[in-house]
Amino acid sequence: MPATLQPHPLTTLVERQNMKATAYLKRVADRHARLGYGPMAARREKLTRWTRAGIEPARTAQLAIADLHGINACEVDRLGWPGFLHLALGSEKVFDAPWTAAGTVEVLTDVGGPVAVDRRGFLIATSSVLATATTQWATATPALAEGHGRRVGSEAADLFDTRLQALRHLDDTVGADQTYDAALMEQHLIATLLRGATYSAATGRRLYLCAADAARLAGWCAYDGGRTAAAERHFMAALRASGSAGDATSGAITLGFWANLRYAGGDPLGAQHLVDAALADRQKIASPRVVAMLHGRAARAHSKAGGSTAAWRHMDAAFAAYGRAAPAEQDLPSMYWITKGELHEIAASSALTLGEPHRALEHFEAAVSDQDPYDTAKEARGTGIYLARQAEAHLALGDIDAALDTGHRVLATLGDVDSARTASTLADLRAALTPHKAVPAVQEFLTEAA
């Protein structure tokens, strides 16, 4: 039997980012120039020569590729081409482990060690991985009672629930980096208990739910810090834990957060797939707020793909689902942030992406004026992001003064907030204003925002 031909590691890296060859090479060329090596051609044939024809890239191109993937330059010389690329592939146990209780505990234990310093900002789950994951989640078998180690009861899950709720609000207060470490500690502590304790099936499922919450929060914090690869691993671990818990609502929440990462990372179709999987059995989702959140994610994904009709259909469904929700204090603690104002912010962002700035401004205004408003006092990052998009809407309508006024509110709101998402949003606003830099007030703002 002939040996199986393994794909070139660069081919695997490009596939994991769901990018076409020219788009990937453009990123390499940009990094090549930023490192001071000068211009580099980005024709797709170059990737074919590197991966199929056995032609080795110039050393500066290798250094640019290494820098793009967070690999130290010394490893380029130590491991050579293409050996150093394997450092970017890492272990993908989180995607390959069996969908069993033991596999879930193994993944929860494994994810988050070296990942904690993984600064890679690109998608690592391929379309086939997403499809397989959602299928396996939908058919996962809930974990049974464990019969070894010291006995723990429901009070252990109660304590984890309390600690995780505090961590969610801690993220709003101190930021993602510090909260990531705390969420990761919870994830590993729960995994240790799942592996080494005795508990009933009911208590075990609650512990798996807590593990899913911790992994999902760690994933969100990793994403906010620009560690996209780490975030995807955490979201996968959370999805596995929800499957072992047998809880459709927890898994649906994870898929909603993961969808956010996917469309923000340039894969709106992947995001749509995740939301579709979450909504496929929506009668099992216990909270209308979760359904509303999922339809909001779908709206953003469709807006990113240019699907206006589908985007607004999902926004209508989001508002309708929210209208069926119980008061926040009677709903899931993790859904405290879903308000009608939040849905208006999502609608405004979708309108802006679809080229409807008037409609965007209407929703931005409704977000803060509604009787159930977006809480600008509690979440500086989200407020800054939405204000920046509001400024872009003013600019799209030719109102530079209003755009600048809102832009200064962005700077005042963000202050010292350290977030990859806010940094990216502010960069987008600066890019939108740059063509108007001949206006003195615009130039002043660009200098202040640099």
> What are the boundaries of each domain within the chain?
9-89, 92-246
226-254 average pLDDT score:
95
* Secondary structure (3-state) at 357: helix
Q: Is the pLDDT of residue 279 over 80?
A: yes
Q: What is the pLDDT of residue 89?
A: 67
Question: How far is the CA of 252 from the CAs of 112, 162, 248, 258, 326, in angstroms?
Answer: 22, 21, 6, 10, 18
Q: What is the pLDDT of residue 3?
A: 36
Q: What is the pLDDT of residue 113?
A: 55
What is d(CA 358, CA 194) in angstroms, rounded to the nearest whole number?
A: 52
Angle at which helix 201-224 crosses helix 101-110, to 10 degrees, equals 30
Per residue in 14-37, pLDDT (tens digit) is 887 778 889 899 999 999 998 999
Query: Tokens representing 77?
Result: 């010389």
What is d(CA 97, CA 104) in angstroms, rounded to the nearest whole number?
A: 8
Per residue in 144-202, pLDDT (tens digit) is 887 788 899 999 999 999 999 999 988 877 778 788 999 999 999 999 999 999 999 99
Closest CA to 61 of 134, 1, 10, 7: 10
Q: What is the pLDDT of residue 119?
A: 52
200-228 average pLDDT score:
95
DSSP characters for 317-350?
A: HHHHHHHTPPPGGGS-GGGTT--HHHHHHHHHHH
Q: What is the pLDDT of residue 368?
A: 96
* Secondary structure (3-state) at 150: strand
User: Taking the alpha carbons of 263, 267, 268, 272 in that order, is the dihedral positive or negative?
Assistant: negative
Per residue in 117-128, pLDDT (tens digit) is 455 566 778 787
Whether 214 and 164 have beta carbons less than 8 Å apart is answered as yes
Phi and psi at 198, nearest 5°, equal -105, 135
Residues 6 or more apart whose Cβ sits within 8 Å of residue 288? 321, 322, 323, 324, 325, 326
What is d(CA 353, CA 300) in angstroms, rounded to the nearest whole number?
A: 8
Say which range, 4-8, 207-211, 238-242, 305-309, has the weakest mean pLDDT: 4-8
Burial readout 280-301 (b: 16 or more C-beta within 10 A, e: otherwise) = eeeeebebbbbbbbbbbbbbbb
395-404 average pLDDT score:
97
Is 81 buried (19+), middle (13-18) or exposed (0-12) by CB count in 10 A? middle
Q: What is the pLDDT of residue 121?
A: 62
Per residue in 320-359, pLDDT (tens digit) is 999 999 999 999 999 999 999 999 999 999 999 999 999 9
